[in-house]
Structure 1
Amino acid sequence: MIEDILKTEYSLKFDDLRKNRMITSYYKYGPIKNNYGEKLINAIENLEIRLKKYKDTGNTEYLLDVANFAMIEFMYPQHKDSFFKATDSEDKLEGMTIKELENL
């Protein structure tokens, strides 16, 4: 059941491409702990730059960078009030979902 859902709701290709970029970055820039754990580089600023580049160009490679910078912020948060708390869908989606439309 879970494998069937993941066939259409998850991208292993995205994960593979994203991971490859993290490995390349390790050799290019050094361990993320040294750059982000030491707060030398800001992951959120870099995420926002890559998201703008994607919006401007349509190059989906920038989405891989966005995901990686989000992961780095998760691992080495620089937000002064960073925390994790699971939220429900009311806090996440804009507009109506197909499920909501079906239930009208």
Structure 2
Amino acid sequence: MSDILRTEYSDQFDQLRKNRMIVSFHKYGPVKSNYGEHLVSAIDNLEKRLELYKQTGNTEYLLDVANFAMIEYMYPQHEKAHFKGTDSKDSPGLGSMTYRDIEKL
């Protein structure tokens, strides 16, 4: 498993993301107070940061996207929010031919 995670996961991404959560706590206050009480929308902020990433290429915005996704998971504001594990038939897939598809040719 650790062999797979060496190439399929970024600990640096996680650490940089966590650092930004700590700074945000001091800058804006507790997540629960801002999002749990519905003062701020995590999805709106996620979408803004994703758009900024598309415009600028600054990968710091991707850290923000991940943090806002996590916040929505922690304090969902979507009226139908729930967790249900999905299999391949419910997944949208990757949208193009993948390495595994090519292997099967």
Bigger mean CA deviation after superposition, 51-60 or 81-90: 81-90
Aligned length in residues: 103
Q: CA RMSD in A?
A: 0.9
Alignment correspondent of 1:26 = 25
Unaligned ranges ≥5, structure 1 = none
Q: For 2:18 and 2:97, locate their aligned partners in 1 and report how far apart those are by CA, in whole Å.
A: 33
Deviations 1:31-89 (A, max 9, x none): 00000000000000000000000000000000000000000000000000001111123
Question: Is 2:45 the counterpart of 1:46?
Answer: yes
Fraction of identical pairs, as percent: 65
Q: For 1:96 and 1:44, locate their aligned partners in 2 and report how far apart those are by CA, in whole Å.
A: 29
- Give the C-alpha shift of residue 97 in structure 1: 1.4
Unaligned ranges ≥5, structure 2 = none
Aligned-partner SS, 2:86: coil
Aligned-partner SS, 1:95: coil
Question: Is 2:104 the counterpart of 1:103?
Answer: yes
